[in-house]
Chains A and B, each alone.
Chain A
């Protein structure tokens, strides 16, 4: 905190205790899985199977035709049943590939394993690309893209912060599989061609820090960097500010770093060691709206309805069902959507009525905005319908972390106002 700037972050009670110490439960879908035909916003796919085909775990189902290359693999074995439109975690109907499960659940070798010690840097990047490893922190951006040209990169940051309330999936996975986690870190280190790796973990997770540090003892150039328990500590910009003490304009590479998520590192390790793509996910099912909050391991494409059922169902009749954490996750209006590769949590909260009152101009939103924006001023421009001012006030730099709404004492949906400004500016730019 300084005289001329606010805190730019805020401690939010994590409520991680709901799931942190409970065992992960394994779940298989009842009948079918639905694999979303999507890679980020890209839905342009070439499909390699046709209705009635037998598929196995690891069978390549499809790959993108345009944009970044992303392949899709089957997460179960069974029969491919064709394409069906279903509600997605993006809050819009989307094509899903339907696979009916069989009893055997057989595996096929999706890729040849690769020893990252002997392979070249380029071969490593290609392995990640072919395995379809995407950022598992939530955005789902193809990982290989970041590592294609590591010119000028000095260090990489492995993001194990998990700053969203309720979510403990990363914590559970690393605790369970620290050796693969560190293997993934070494793979990223090699791909980025750097000698320095920071592993960012919250100070409030001393047990996790201990486990990682113990496993690190003989690894060179890798260190745990404890970060404060504030939101949104896991955003790249805040991590770079905290660890490297610098700012960047658009991408972390301008600050000479690449940031990857911890579970992405684990997925990468499996892609090298066993030649496996991402077929299973560990997701945190938590919140006051679900009976037995816990972490669930299930194949990609498992319907959320079944996941919730495995956790004892809902506690009340009127809930907010959120794909992701309560801060950045979208509320979905039915439980038909499925667990995708980038899904790391399902949060269920009892519904509460809105109780917003007039803005008192306290400026808490401006003080806490991690991007240094002034949400209250952007909201004023929205009310005035002034698109030029919205752009000047930096609306496009908003990542919708939701902190401005969280800190607003008048309970105004500030983030939504900034979102409106973003839409208006984008629309204007398209014209």
Chain B
């Protein structure tokens, strides 16, 4: 008879990190399959093949990198990977690149994501930056024109919006000329247009996000606060810049929706901003984290040279994570007041950004002709 000692409690819950990562993988693979379906039906089997090749090459690269580190730590590579969850980074990174991405660029980005983004910090749980975000930033900085031969697609909505309309299509006419390229709001929400592989399927991502929130895979606060803040800030921009209503829908409704359905913010909100490793641990911290990311996203979208702001807002806020955490240390019921003040300050900052954007961005009221639109847009600028 053996009476074992164990520190209390002797009971543990059924939700494990392994299960969380598994469900996350399933959610990501649904997006990958949707993307295969879109590229297959629009461009043909060779595109699907290229897409699968992208994912496989990223996974193999991840496998090699993690195995080398496992060897360094004198651990079994498979056992090491089972608690390192590198494949999630690989899939997210793949879903963030467009179909035109070359395999070698993705391989290099994966190396940066896995090795420099995660393993060098000490492995899973220790990294400061979102590893997939690091990989995507590498592609963005070094391989913007690395397009695979024989693979061409149309312009992406964010690039088109940014270049042709300054993110402010101010009349129904201008909006119509934009929407006609992508089959209207409904198709933008469904996601059957060119862009990064996984980020276009807004509706599907929202549904997956709700599933994750219900199953406690991610914290509901992060996507809700992030997207909610972007919605409010862009609504304020719409009101201040006095853009027209669209077929009876007032601007402060359709304009935020336009932001939601284009680009990668919904993907970023559900899959990247919620990465527990790189976001604060307390609920208060996460709210402030998401709020800050939203303000930066709106600022970058409307005022920066980049067509998109989501990726850099995430990486920037990752840097603030340790600061947010240490400023909110202590008993949560007590530091709550501090969190209110911080959130209040960020909200004011956000409104200031809206005001700045609304007064300094030139609204575009004329419809763009289809030809100029296609000429102007730079194919590879699509990013989160």
CB of B185 closer than 8 Å to a CB of A: no
CA distance A331 to B219 in the complex (A): 34
Measured CB to CB, the closest approach of chain B to A347, in angstroms, equals: 8
CB of B280 closer than 8 Å to a CB of A: yes
CB of A410 closer than 8 Å to a CB of B: yes
Are A408 and B12 touching (Cβ within 8 A)? yes
CB of B329 closer than 8 Å to a CB of A: yes
Measured CB to CB, the closest approach of chain B to A138, in angstroms, equals: 12
Measured CB to CB, the closest approach of chain A to B333, in angstroms, equals: 4
Are B281 and A361 touching (Cβ within 8 A)? yes
Measured CB to CB, the closest approach of chain B to A394, in angstroms, equals: 4
B83 contact set on A, CB distance < 8 A: 357-358
CA distance A341 to B3 in the complex (A): 23
Q: Secondary structure at chain B's binding surface: helix, strand, loop or mixed?
A: loop
CA distance A363 to B287 in the complex (A): 13
The contact string, 1 if C-beta is below 8 Å from chain B, for chain A 350-362, is 0100000111111
Known: A321-B3, A362-B276, A409-B17. A402 touches B9 (CB 8 A): yes
CB of A26 closer than 8 Å to a CB of B: no
Are B13 and A393 touching (Cβ within 8 A)? no
Q: Secondary structure at chain A's binding surface: helix, strand, loop or mixed?
A: loop
CA distance A362 to B16 in the complex (A): 11
The contact string, 1 if C-beta is below 8 Å from chain A, for chain B 319-343, is 0000001000111111010011001
Are A363 and B282 touching (Cβ within 8 A)? yes
B125 contact set on A, CB distance < 8 A: 358-361
Are A4 and B340 touching (Cβ within 8 A)? yes
B221 contact set on A, CB distance < 8 A: 3
Are A326 and B281 touching (Cβ within 8 A)? no
CA distance A373 to B328 in the complex (A): 11
Are B332 and A366 touching (Cβ within 8 A)? yes
Are A317 and B276 touching (Cβ within 8 A)? no
CA distance A360 to B275 in the complex (A): 9
- The stretch that binds B, out of A48-56, A209-217, A413-421, is A413-421
Q: Give the residue of B1, B216, B329 whose beta carbon is less than 8 angstroms from that of A374.
A: B329
CA distance A392 to B327 in the complex (A): 12
Are A322 and B281 touching (Cβ within 8 A)? no
Question: Which chain B residue shows the least CB distance to A327?
Answer: B9
Are A326 and B9 touching (Cβ within 8 A)? yes
CA distance A347 to B3 in the complex (A): 12
The contact string, 1 if C-beta is below 8 Å from chain A, for chain B 273-311, is 000110111111111000000000000000000000000
Q: Give the residue of B12, B17, B216, B282 whose beta carbon is less than 8 angstroms from that of A406.
A: B12
Measured CB to CB, the closest approach of chain A to B136, in angstroms, equals: 21
Are A392 and B3 touching (Cβ within 8 A)? no
A425 contact set on B, CB distance < 8 A: none
Q: Give the residue of A331, A361, A408 whose beta carbon is less than 8 angstroms from that of B276.
A: A361
CB of A407 closer than 8 Å to a CB of B: yes
Are A366 and B10 touching (Cβ within 8 A)? no
B336 contact set on A, CB distance < 8 A: 4-5
Q: Give the residue of B1, B7, B123 whose beta carbon is less than 8 angstroms from that of A415.
A: B7
Are B331 and A397 touching (Cβ within 8 A)? yes
CB of B372 closer than 8 Å to a CB of A: no
Q: Give the residue of A326, A363, A392 whose beta carbon is less than 8 angstroms from that of B329.
A: A392
Known: A5-B283, A363-B280. A406 touches B9 (CB 8 A): yes
A327 contact set on B, CB distance < 8 A: 8-11
CB of B73 closer than 8 Å to a CB of A: no
Are B11 and A374 touching (Cβ within 8 A)? no
Known: A334-B3, A351-B4. A3 touches B287 (CB 8 A): yes
Are A363 and B6 touching (Cβ within 8 A)? no
Q: Give residues of chain A (375-411) contacting chain B, Cβ–Cβ below 8 Å.
A: 376-377, 389, 392-394, 397, 400, 402-403, 405-411
Are B330 and A392 touching (Cβ within 8 A)? yes
A318 contact set on B, CB distance < 8 A: 2, 4
Question: Which chain B residue shows the least CB distance to A355?
Answer: B16
Are B8 and A330 touching (Cβ within 8 A)? yes
CA distance A347 to B10 in the complex (A): 10
Q: Give the residue of B16, B279, B281 whose beta carbon is less than 8 angstroms from that of A366.
A: B281
CB of A314 closer than 8 Å to a CB of B: yes
B16 contact set on A, CB distance < 8 A: 409-411
Are B10 and A349 touching (Cβ within 8 A)? yes
CA distance A322 to B8 in the complex (A): 9
A392 contact set on B, CB distance < 8 A: 329-330
Question: Which chain A residue shows the least CB distance to B340?
Answer: A4
Measured CB to CB, the closest approach of chain A to B207, in angstroms, equals: 22
Are B2 and A351 touching (Cβ within 8 A)? yes
Q: Give the residue of B4, B15, B282 whose beta carbon is less than 8 angstroms from that of A320.
A: B4
CB of B246 closer than 8 Å to a CB of A: no
Q: Give the residue of A12, A320, A397 whose beta carbon is less than 8 angstroms from that of B6.
A: A320
The contact string, 1 if C-beta is below 8 Å from chain B, for chain A 170-188, is 0000000000000000000
CB of B71 closer than 8 Å to a CB of A: no
A369 contact set on B, CB distance < 8 A: 332
Are B283 and A363 touching (Cβ within 8 A)? yes
Are B17 and A335 touching (Cβ within 8 A)? no
Question: Which chain B residue shows the least CB distance to A313?
Answer: B1
Measured CB to CB, the closest approach of chain B to A430, in angstroms, equals: 23
Q: Give residues of chain A (303-357) contacting chain B, Cβ–Cβ below 8 Å.
A: 314, 317-322, 326-335, 347, 349, 351, 357
B283 contact set on A, CB distance < 8 A: 3-6, 363, 366-367
Question: Which chain A residue shows the least CB distance to B125?
Answer: A358
CB of B257 closer than 8 Å to a CB of A: no
Are A331 and B8 touching (Cβ within 8 A)? yes
Measured CB to CB, the closest approach of chain A to B57, in angstroms, equals: 27
Measured CB to CB, the closest approach of chain B to A175, in angstroms, equals: 25
Are B11 and A165 touching (Cβ within 8 A)? yes
CA distance A333 to B9 in the complex (A): 15
CA distance A197 to B199 in the complex (A): 57
A333 contact set on B, CB distance < 8 A: 3-5
CB of A372 closer than 8 Å to a CB of B: yes
Q: Give the residue of B2, B6, B15, B333 whose beta carbon is less than 8 angstroms from that of A372.
A: B333
Q: Give residues of chain A (122-156) contacting chain B, Cβ–Cβ below 8 Å.
A: none
The contact string, 1 if C-beta is below 8 Å from chain A, for chain B 108-129, is 0000000000000001111000
Measured CB to CB, the closest approach of chain A to B341, in angstroms, equals: 12
Q: Give the residue of A3, A321, A377, A413 whose beta carbon is less than 8 angstroms from that of B281.
A: A377
CB of B20 closer than 8 Å to a CB of A: yes
CB of A371 closer than 8 Å to a CB of B: yes
A389 contact set on B, CB distance < 8 A: 329
Measured CB to CB, the closest approach of chain A to B212, in angstroms, equals: 13
Question: Which chain B residue shows the least CB distance to A10?
Answer: B13
Measured CB to CB, the closest approach of chain B to A131, in angstroms, equals: 31
Known: A3-B287, A405-B9, A408-B12. A319 touches B4 (CB 8 A): yes
Are B331 and A331 touching (Cβ within 8 A)? no
Are B124 and A358 touching (Cβ within 8 A)? yes
CA distance A320 to B4 in the complex (A): 5
Question: Which chain A residue shows the least CB distance to B225?
Answer: A3
Task: Among B5, B123, B336, find the residue whose CB has the most chain A CB atoms closer than 10 A.
Answer: B5
Known: A3-B287, A6-B283, A331-B4. 7 other contacts (CB 8 A): A319-B1, A319-B4, A320-B6, A361-B281, A363-B280, A363-B281, A372-B333
What are the nearest 6 A-B pairs in CB distance? Answer: A402-B9, A363-B281, A358-B125, A372-B332, A362-B276, A326-B11
Question: Can you show 23 pairs from A to B with CB atoms below 8 A apart?
Answer: A3-B225, A318-B2, A319-B1, A319-B3, A326-B10, A327-B9, A327-B11, A329-B10, A332-B3, A333-B5, A334-B3, A351-B4, A357-B83, A360-B125, A361-B279, A362-B276, A363-B285, A373-B332, A377-B325, A394-B330, A402-B9, A409-B16, A419-B7
